[in-house]
Amino acid sequence: MFVQKDRKLGVADGKRQYDLPLNRDEGSGFLILLIALMTFLAVLALSASFVLRTMGDRWSSGLENKLTIEVPAESANETHDGIVISNENVKSLTQEIAEKIRHHPAVKSADILSDSEIQDLISPWLGEDVSLIDVPMPGLISVQLQVTTPETLHALEKAARDISPTARLDTHETWLNDLLRFTGAMQFAALIITLIIGATTFTAVAGAIRSRMAVHKDEVELLHLMGAKDDYITSQFQRHALTLTLQGCVVGVLGAGIVMVLIGLISGDTGGALIPDFRLGIVHMIALFLLPVAACGISALTARHTVLRVLAGMP
């Protein structure tokens, strides 16, 4: 898979790398492949998680910060069927809620809809010809917010309910909540997958080093018996693990980059505000680049630790 450098000893050029045939082990290419795949998936999963978060943020904030408070013409207070409240009563309750809400810091404006406006809204359901005076009319307040946050929504709902217990908030966007929930679940899954991948890579490297230690136990023991210092042996394994991980990471990151560009090409020209491009912020970029660096560091340390522990067991 990779060009194997000639590590043959006996050439007096000081380039001696290994006394142990680590780089000739059959499993090396395989481990590189595994690390590449893990890095590939981790980068994709992490990116997906970032993109999902950005998407969720934009969806919940970027859409028009509008909502409607409805004060129904029925009060559910006393009986099951509810008591019809007089139109005047509804109007005064509505007025009261609007007054109260206007002072909330997140509220830009809160306008009570006039009867004709309400009729416009209702006519599709009731028909043009029904006279407004004949039916119990709900009160409607059109609210414009600075930003939509769950806290604001809760505060507004509570304020409205304090005055009219049957008051309802309508964000026009229940489907958005569904979507946000879905995005959240996906984000969670992506993070879990990243973690699992990280743990697996760690285990894989530790396992590979341990297995190489086992395969070359006789040779390591021989070096030890000849008076080689622990460092002399450890550094060979360490360098080996580092090389493998580095190769794997480079391949993995490159692969992930290509796939991300591909996905970007396929979905990128949507142009809509709803789906953000697969463009990541600088912070995310740094996080993604720290991934391989961390992987290399961890695997070098893992190798060192594993080998030292085996050496400590030798007399």
Partner 1 sequence: MIKFENVGLRYGIGPEVLSDISFALEPGSFHFLTGPSGAGKTSLMNLIYLGRRPTRGLVTMFGQSINDLDRRKLTPIRQRIGVVFQDFRLMNHLSTFDNVALPLRILGRPETEIQNNVNELLEWVGLGGKTNVLPPTMSGGEQQRIAIARAVIARPRLLLADEPTGNLDDDIGFRLMNLFDQLNRMGTTIVIATHNQAVIDKLGHPRMVLEGGRLNIESTAQKNWIQKKIQGVF
Which stretches of the chain bind partner 1, using CB under 8 A?
8-10, 12, 14, 16, 19, 21, 24, 218-219, 222-230, 232, 312, 315
CA 225 to CA 119: how far, in whole Å? 96
Binds 315: which of partner 1, its own copies, none (CB < 5-8 Å by kind): partner 1
We find the least distance from the C-beta atom of residue 276 to its own copies, in angstroms, to be: 10
Which two three-digit tokens encode residue 54?
């950005």
B/e letters for 186-217, b = 16+ CB within 10 Å, e = fewer, are bbeebeebbeebbeebeebbbebbbebbebbe
The answer to the question of residue 188 lying near its own copies (CB under 8 A) is yes
| Closest to partner 1 by CB, 118 or 308 | 308
CA 122 to CA 112: how far, in whole Å? 15
Could you give the C-alpha distances from 4 to 1, 13, 276, in angstroms and in order? Answer: 9, 18, 43
10 Å CB burial of residue 256 (0-12, 13-18, 19+) is buried
HSE of 192, CA atoms in CB hemisphere, 13 A = 6
Candidate list 61, 86, 109, 203; residue touching its own copies; CB under 8 A: 203
Binds 222: which of its own copies, partner 1, none (CB < 5-8 Å by kind): partner 1
Site for its own copies in 78-117 (CB under 8 A): 116-117
Return the closest-CA partner of residue 42 out of 171, 172, 201, 188.
Answer: 201
We find the least distance from the C-beta atom of residue 203 to its own copies, in angstroms, to be: 6
We find the least distance from the C-beta atom of residue 46 to partner 1, in angstroms, to be: 40
Q: Are 113 and 90 in contact (CB under 8 A)?
A: no
Candidate list 130, 178, 261, 279; residue touching its own copies; CB under 8 A: 178
Q: Which helix (H) or strand (E) is 85 found in, with range?
A: none
- State phi, psi for 281 to the nearest 5 degrees: -70, 170
CA 314 to CA 291: how far, in whole Å? 35
DSSP, res 216? T
We find the least distance from the C-beta atom of residue 20 to partner 1, in angstroms, to be: 8
The answer to the question of residue 257 lying near its own copies (CB under 8 A) is no
The answer to the question of residue 61 lying near its own copies (CB under 8 A) is no
We find the least distance from the C-beta atom of residue 31 to partner 1, in angstroms, to be: 19
Q: Binding pattern to its own copies, positions 260-289, x when CB under 8 A?
A: ---x--xx--xxx-xx--------------
CA 268 to CA 277: how far, in whole Å? 6
We find the least distance from the C-beta atom of residue 228 to partner 1, in angstroms, to be: 5
Applying CB under 8 A, the residues found at the interface with its own copies are: 25-27, 29-30, 33-34, 37, 40-41, 44, 116-117, 120, 123, 128, 174-175, 177-179, 181-182, 184-185, 188-189, 192-193, 196-197, 200, 203-204, 207-208, 210-211, 214-215, 259, 263, 266-267, 270-272, 274-275
